Homo-oligomer: A and B are copies of this chain.
């Protein structure tokens, strides 16, 4: 697998555009991704019981229509908690995009992100869709990646290529995150394109696997926002041997995992107010569920995050988080490591080189490892530190 330039328009047959339609003043706020051939669509959607209108429309279309030609996305307004009118607006966005592009209206997907509880300014949105549709181009990936941002400070794009089934298959992607210090409350949108020829069912399964190992590692179980979605489109233009089982499937999974993991990490690094990237690994857990709970409890602890923001080796806060995580633990067996330095052994203090550790904790990337020494399961989750800036951004 090789990383290549670009994002969602890197695979053959995809174009994109991003325009400012006026929802966010003069900033780009509307994007279209289009494929010259119809695609298999796969998607993973928020588990929040409050689902934004575009989530409801797109989820139904991915399930029932399966084929998609394009995706239209706006930022600056979540179109959530907007009732029947919101559903009509979301459907109208997708349908209009289909009309303008000359494809069946139901073969267009729609996504939104921004504040909840406001109606979309549909006149502006409609004008934006017409403009964006007229500007679709191979080099439009970056504009599209800009148009979906909210409080993000940088665009998030990636593309890779891998030889599968006798051809160079490409995968491209873009995402937005940012309201992310507690990732459960952010809107996370990701769009993935590929020119691979792939079985429809396999495509859905591989996407779900990749999402579990990436975006869900920065999200508390079941605690997604009202608008989260990951959409993937495969247009089959690459002429590889169909991906179904065996080596091709494994290679495609690896490439998809890489793309999703890199985007997920970009989202954490650009978290609101984030100054550090924190990787939390819990080892030696009795079950996969225990490993997951324990790792998430540490990663979500405001006290752990503030301690690491300040570069402090306050491992007691990590022990406390393990204790209330619900995971099965024996405190006297727990070892804790910060950036490879053992700071607690058997749940008790150990001597360590404090100045060396203090220097290590000043770095931008911090690994926290807690070994429960009870079993063989482990889980890694990604988070960022909690800074004064987070509060300032969200006030």
Contacts and interface: CB of A to CB of B under 8 A. Distances in A.
Interface stretch (A17-25, A76-84, A191-199, A235-243): A76-84
Contacts of A223: 324
Nearest to A85: B348
A312 B316 CA distance: 35
Interface string A370-395: 00000000000000001110111011
A166 interface: no
Contacts of A184: 324
Contacts of A116: 314-317, 319-320
A190 B80 CA distance: 43
A222 interface: yes
A329 interface: yes
A306 interface: yes
A307 interface: yes
Nearest to A347: B81
Interface in A31-84: 47-51, 78, 80-83
B394 A391 contact: no
Nearest to A393: B306
A177 to B, nearest CB: 14
B306 A394 contact: yes
A202 interface: no
A332 B83 contact: yes
Interface string A303-347: 100110110101111011111101001011000000000001011
Given A83-B348, A309-B391, A185 B303 contact: yes
Nearest to A332: B83
Contacts of A222: 324, 326
B331 A49 contact: yes
Contacts of A302: 181-182, 185, 302, 390, 394
A179 interface: yes
B395 A323 contact: no
A390 B323 CA distance: 23
Nearest to A226: B320
Contacts of A391: 306, 309, 386-388, 390-391
Contacts of A321: 185
A115 interface: yes
A105 to B, nearest CB: 26
Interface of A: 47-51, 78, 80-83, 115-119, 179, 181-182, 184-185, 222-226, 301-303, 306-307, 309-310, 312, 314-317, 319-324, 326, 329, 331-332, 344, 346-349, 386-388, 390-392, 394-395
Given A181-B302, A226-B320, A307-B395, 12 more contacts: A47-B324, A49-B323, A49-B331, A50-B347, A116-B315, A116-B319, A117-B315, A185-B317, A185-B321, A224-B324, A226-B323, A306-B391
